Amino acid sequence: MPWLVNDGRVVASLEIAESRRDRRVGLLGRDGIDGALLLRPARSVHTVRMKFPIDVVHLDRDLVVLSVITMKPGRIGRWRRRAHCVLEAEAGCVRTWNISRGTQLEIRS
């Protein structure tokens, strides 16, 4: 199982959605998520038909955080030109993981 790492510390378990189908489904139909979901490649997300608010983290190719926002259900996210992938987690998690703009993240197996 992959892990999300910030500053050398594992902060969450990680699911990775790389196929078109997995990215399209994302967190739809779930009541929550333990850890985070990485959509790769992706530049934007939406929360239409989602059941809970999420933190959305746009990342560049090197996994440097470009932006962090919280989205309520039923919203269409803004497209980020430099984004290569998007990290999704339950609202509030990103703050507790000490992730903000400019943070360098890492994925470990």
Q: What is the mean pLDDT of the chain?
A: 95
Domains defined for the chain, CATH in brackets: 3-108 (2.60.120.1140)
Nearest Cα to Cα of residue 45 among 75, 13, 4:
75
Q: In terms of pTM, does the model score above 0.85?
A: yes
Grade residue 76 by pLDDT with cuts at 50, 70 and 90. very high
Grade residue 84 by pLDDT with cuts at 50, 70 and 90. very high
Per-residue pLDDT tens digits for 9-49: 999 999 999 999 999 888 888 988 999 999 999 999 999 99
Backbone angles phi, psi at 34, to 5 degrees: -90, 120
